[in-house]
Chain A
């Protein structure tokens, strides 16, 4: 299947490090050419990339085509938004008779948001993983839509209009994140850590089971591996990381609304992963830059840029399925021609 030999692991690592270096140098460069506005845009790209990388774990390695991944981004975002709202109003959040005080402290809020996203992913995963293939696509989409409507119906938190935050979260009491460049580096650091950790994970026993189940579920089951449990663990972990992306997104925009988990965002995440190269972890980062860049450029050309983006997507699916990563860096390591997905 490979038209050319994949690059050696060493060259590959070099390219990845070069990419990281380029991202680290981006803010000073943008300041140098007097376009600091683009730091904000680049931050949004990194956050999108983080969500896409988490989707790549279950999609590219686990073969689970989740069409509801934005739901977990939204849950993480809403935990941040709701806690900040209560902190501002000064009244505690009443949850099943339990008074939770409002909070703005990142060191508590962020892990908490990830945990709530993980629980949401666990519950949705338990039900969705009872099926596979096309059922799985539709069911994840439907549950994400359920959460969307639930949040729209929460009038106490702005309903359709969402919540505006009064500043970003504090870190150990300081307003470190208020600075544009610092926030960029926080996002970059978290993204790098997640990509590295996921890389270790997919090469571990856990990751190999996950990939084995994608390639041949029956074989894995015959070997006595509880496939569904592994998939559920990956789905939950991906949900937690998507929740972190939601936290960052809400901090970046200082605003949260149900739009964050609109189904088109789930579609967008899938597009980013495919565009960049599925099952590569680094590919989705590339994909995020290309998609956001494409949107910026097309939006400059015409107000109706989706009329161009839509057919471009169709063409990518039909003719460029290896993705950018496959193009630039070579086919993925554990290349297999057809992962039919969780079926």
Chain B
């Protein structure tokens, strides 16, 4: 039972990380109709900048404060230089161009930081554990990640549905020409939304730093999981991104933790271990396939 609670929390933590990635990706798609593979690169940049600044200043907060603008700025530059020319193109062109960007950024990181992964420590203030249930200690840092992710979700909901900026974003998403004719600077709005998505990816990367190794190519594995999230949630929907991300995070984590044991109830141990490991790596994709059969457009299709 304690192990179960712990694994559910781990799943939620992975889920909010995925949400930070997926919300940016889905906003950019919903509003600009753009598929951006280089979203994982922004995550990587966030992680590298946070790790480097933290290692030099011994302050995770400073690292975070550097990582967010760095990712947002990189995002804005990418948008202005490359993406702005791709809005009118087909998705295939967007995929290829952003694939080129991934190759560029991965090797750029190797040139700047070398092939050795960077390791950063959990900040001292958050290094301890706290008992979530009697006898079930859980790292504070991971709880903080979950809290930050949920706060971001709340903030995004407020931004999009309750503010004037959010109204402009929604207007730009539903009818670009009319919104432009009504005096909204569409080009600026697009750059802003892209930079916002980039900043969220950078935030996810910076928070992943103390948990994972910071290395070139770290953005890709989470990027593909993010795609699964977006497909499950429905492309363009922030609400769908949240539900999808938590679902994927929990299913993936629980699958890895418990599937081999569950299968051992019906199979012999060795077979169960083998099949369980294989099945658990596939669990989120099977979930995606199931959602696709049930609802081809995702759980929450359209904008929202």
The interface bits of chain B over 180-221 (1 if a CB of A lies within 8 angstroms of the residue's CB, else 0) are 000000000000000000000000000000000000000010
For B62, what are the chain A residues with a Cβ–Cβ distance below 8 Å? none
Would you give the shortest CB distance from B194 to chain A, in whole angstroms?
16
By size class, the interface of chain A is: 35 or more
B288 and A310 contacting across the interface, CB-CB below 8 Å: no
* A130-B293, A271-B96, A340-B90 given; A307·B230 CB < 8 A: no
Candidates B85, B104, B297; contact of A318 at CB < 8 Å: B85
Q: How far is the CA of A309 from the CA of B104 in the complex (A)?
A: 7
B224 and A314 contacting across the interface, CB-CB below 8 Å: no
A142 and B227 contacting across the interface, CB-CB below 8 Å: yes
Cβ of B52 under 8 Å from chain A: no
Q: How far is the CA of A317 from the CA of B85 in the complex (A)?
A: 10
The interface bits of chain A over 138-150 (1 if a CB of B lies within 8 angstroms of the residue's CB, else 0) are 1101110110011
A307 and B292 contacting across the interface, CB-CB below 8 Å: no
B104 and A311 contacting across the interface, CB-CB below 8 Å: yes
Cβ of B2 under 8 Å from chain A: no
Cβ of A58 under 8 Å from chain B: no
Cβ of B247 under 8 Å from chain A: no
Q: How far is the CA of A327 from the CA of B103 in the complex (A)?
A: 26
Would you give the shortest CB distance from A120 to chain B, in whole angstroms?
13
B107 and A306 contacting across the interface, CB-CB below 8 Å: yes
Closest A residue to B220 by CB, please name it.
Answer: A263
Q: How far is the CA of A136 from the CA of B246 in the complex (A)?
A: 23
Cβ of A26 under 8 Å from chain B: no
For A134, what are the chain B residues with a Cβ–Cβ distance below 8 Å? 29, 35, 91, 235
Q: How far is the CA of A340 from the CA of B93 in the complex (A)?
A: 11
B103 and A313 contacting across the interface, CB-CB below 8 Å: yes
Cβ of A321 under 8 Å from chain B: yes
Candidates B110, B235, B278, B292; contact of A127 at CB < 8 Å: B292
B111 and A307 contacting across the interface, CB-CB below 8 Å: yes
User: Which residues between 40 and 75 of chain A lie within 8 Å of chain B, taking CB atoms?
Assistant: 59, 65, 67
The interface bits of chain A over 105-147 (1 if a CB of B lies within 8 angstroms of the residue's CB, else 0) are 0000000000000000000000100110111011101110110
For A34, what are the chain B residues with a Cβ–Cβ distance below 8 Å? none
B97 and A130 contacting across the interface, CB-CB below 8 Å: no
* A134-B235, A149-B282, A341-B92 given; A306·B292 CB < 8 A: no
Candidates B35, B90, B235; contact of A338 at CB < 8 Å: B90
Would you give the shortest CB distance from A52 to chain B, in whole angstroms?
14
Cβ of B100 under 8 Å from chain A: yes
For B101, what are the chain A residues with a Cβ–Cβ distance below 8 Å? 310, 314
User: Which residues between 293 and 337 of chain A lie within 8 Å of chain B, taking CB atoms?
Assistant: 304-307, 309-314, 316-318, 321
Would you give the shortest CB distance from B166 to chain A, in whole angstroms?
23
For B93, what are the chain A residues with a Cβ–Cβ distance below 8 Å? 317, 321
For B277, what are the chain A residues with a Cβ–Cβ distance below 8 Å? 153
B281 and A149 contacting across the interface, CB-CB below 8 Å: yes
The B contact surface, by secondary structure, is helix
Q: How far is the CA of A59 from the CA of B97 in the complex (A)?
A: 17
Q: How far is the CA of A339 from the CA of B93 in the complex (A)?
A: 12
Most buried by A among B85, B105, B107, B235: B107
Cβ of A93 under 8 Å from chain B: no
Q: How far is the CA of A307 from the CA of B292 in the complex (A)?
A: 37
B235 and A65 contacting across the interface, CB-CB below 8 Å: no
* A150-B282, A155-B274, A306-B106 given; A317·B97 CB < 8 A: yes
A307 and B107 contacting across the interface, CB-CB below 8 Å: yes
By size class, the interface of chain B is: 35 or more
A339 and B102 contacting across the interface, CB-CB below 8 Å: no
Cβ of B95 under 8 Å from chain A: yes
For B97, what are the chain A residues with a Cβ–Cβ distance below 8 Å? 313-314, 317-318
For B42, what are the chain A residues with a Cβ–Cβ distance below 8 Å? none
Given contacts A142-B288, A307-B107, 13 further A-B contacts (CB under 8 A): A65-B91, A134-B235, A138-B230, A139-B288, A143-B285, A149-B282, A150-B281, A155-B274, A267-B96, A313-B103, A317-B96, A339-B90, A341-B92
A310 and B103 contacting across the interface, CB-CB below 8 Å: yes
Cβ of B108 under 8 Å from chain A: yes
For A307, what are the chain B residues with a Cβ–Cβ distance below 8 Å? 103-104, 107-108, 111
Cβ of B158 under 8 Å from chain A: no
Cβ of B231 under 8 Å from chain A: yes
Cβ of A152 under 8 Å from chain B: yes
* A138-B227, A146-B282, A304-B110 given; A310·B220 CB < 8 A: no
User: Which residues between 72 and 105 of chain B lie within 8 Å of chain A, taking CB atoms?
Assistant: 82, 85-86, 89-93, 95-97, 99-105
Cβ of B117 under 8 Å from chain A: no
Cβ of A154 under 8 Å from chain B: yes
Cβ of A270 under 8 Å from chain B: yes
A127 and B293 contacting across the interface, CB-CB below 8 Å: yes
B296 and A306 contacting across the interface, CB-CB below 8 Å: no
Most buried by B among A138, A141, A150, A267: A138
Cβ of B140 under 8 Å from chain A: no
B82 and A142 contacting across the interface, CB-CB below 8 Å: no
Closest B residue to A309 by CB, please name it.
Answer: B103
* A263-B224, A340-B90, A341-B90 given; A137·B95 CB < 8 A: yes
4 closest cross-chain pairs (CB), A and B:
A310-B104, A313-B100, A310-B103, A146-B285
Would you give the shortest CB distance from B9 to chain A, in whole angstroms?
24
Cβ of A274 under 8 Å from chain B: yes
Q: How far is the CA of A130 from the CA of B289 in the complex (A)?
A: 11
For A310, what are the chain B residues with a Cβ–Cβ distance below 8 Å? 100-105, 107
Closest A residue to B228 by CB, please name it.
Answer: A142
A150 and B235 contacting across the interface, CB-CB below 8 Å: no
B281 and A65 contacting across the interface, CB-CB below 8 Å: no
B100 and A317 contacting across the interface, CB-CB below 8 Å: yes
Sample of 8 A–B contacts (CB below 8 Å): A134-B29, A135-B231, A138-B227, A142-B224, A145-B285, A310-B104, A314-B101, A317-B86
